[in-house]
């Protein structure tokens, strides 16, 4: 999953980036409102962490512009302590959730997992397809109750697909959502990871849809 982190305070931004990356997210950053708006308009994000007090263009205006432009991406706003009116304005402007500074990284991560899950129409933190289960909290994957050891790349790929069972996901979409902007992207690597993942999962779980991409489907027993 790929996130946009918008925070003008460099120390806090670096801390948040490190925490988000450690949790497996690909992270793009913006330090002002204009850059944030541009990135949110042009790149594919699974969620945005948006500070409200920003130079050039404030966070609330950025959010309003995204929503006016039909951008539905999940947005979590960071608000100042003891400023209830900011929370109300933020939610009314289209924010999906908020956190008051200072906050614990664990809480931010839990809220992001929830936002991403709900945006994909998933209510449970444990995603299932056939006898494969992926626990978004622990990052554990099981097959028939038995643990499956995945590399972080394999996990990220499966996580993205498990959030969208039955949907056709192109290689381009996977590349966009699994790598940050500054990453040297090559959609051929996706094929390699899909190949490795298939060897560890039930046959038929990840279907190839010719010319379009991949689809996660519960395999039908012969
Ligand atoms: Ca700020």
47 Cα to the center of ligand 1, angstroms:
19
Tens-place pLDDT, residues 189-216: 899 999 999 999 999 999 999 999 999 9
Structure confidence by residue, pLDDT tens digits, 124-182: 999 999 999 999 999 999 999 999 999 999 999 999 999 998 999 999 999 999 998 87
Residue 162, classed as helix, strand or coil, is helix
Cα 61 to ligand 1 centroid, rounded to whole Å: 14
Domain stops at, among 69, 97, 119: 119
pLDDT tens for each residue of 18-49: 999 999 999 999 999 999 999 999 999 999 99
| pLDDT given for residue 180 in this prediction | 87
Whether residues 136 and 59 share a domain: the answer is no
Closest by CA to 206, choosing from 143, 149, 145, is 143
Q: 134 with 25, same domain?
A: no
* Type and span of the H or E element at 132: strand 132-135
Residues 177 and 68 in one domain: no
CA of 118 to the centre of ligand 1 (A): 27
Residue 222 predicted with pLDDT over 60: no
Residue 221 forms part of a structural domain: no
Residue 138 shares a structural domain with residue 78: no
The number of domains in the chain is: 2
Mark whether 138 and 211 lie in a shared domain.
Answer: yes
Is residue 172, in this structure, part of any structural domain at all?
yes
Tell whether 11 is covered by a domain.
Answer: yes
Stretch (H or E) spanning 126: strand 126-129
Q: What is the pLDDT of residue 201?
A: 95
Report the SS3 class of residue 48. strand
The phi and psi torsions of 152 (rounded to 5 degrees) equal -65, -35
């Amino acid at each position: 999953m790929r996130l946009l982190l918008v925070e003008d305070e460099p120390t806090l931004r670096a801390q948040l980036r490190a925490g988000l990356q450690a949790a497996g997210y690909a992270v793009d950053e913006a330090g002002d409102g204009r850059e944030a708006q541009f990135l949110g308009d042009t790149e594919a994000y699974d969620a945005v962490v948006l500070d409200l007090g920003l130079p050039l263009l404030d966070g609330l205006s950025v959010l309003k512009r995204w929503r006016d432009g039909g951008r539905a991406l999940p947005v979590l706003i960071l608000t100042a302590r003891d400023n209830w009116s900011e929370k109300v304005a933020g939610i009314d402007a289209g924010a999906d959730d908020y956190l008051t500074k200072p906050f614990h990284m664990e809480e931010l991560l839990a809220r992001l997992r929830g936002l991403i899950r709900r945006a994909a129409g998933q209510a449970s933190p444990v995603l299932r397809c056939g006898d494969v289960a992926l626990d978004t909290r622990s990052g554990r994957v099981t097959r028939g109750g038995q643990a499956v050891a995945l590399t972080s790349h394999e996990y990220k790929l499966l996580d993205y697909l498990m959030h969208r069972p039955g949907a056709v996901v192109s290689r381009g979409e996977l590349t966009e959502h699994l790598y940050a902007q500054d990453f040297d992207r090559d959609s051929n690597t996706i094929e390699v990871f899909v190949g490795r993942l298939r060897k560890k999962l039930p046959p038929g779980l990840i279907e190839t849809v010719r010319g379009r991409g991949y689809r996660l489907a519960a395999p039908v027993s012969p």
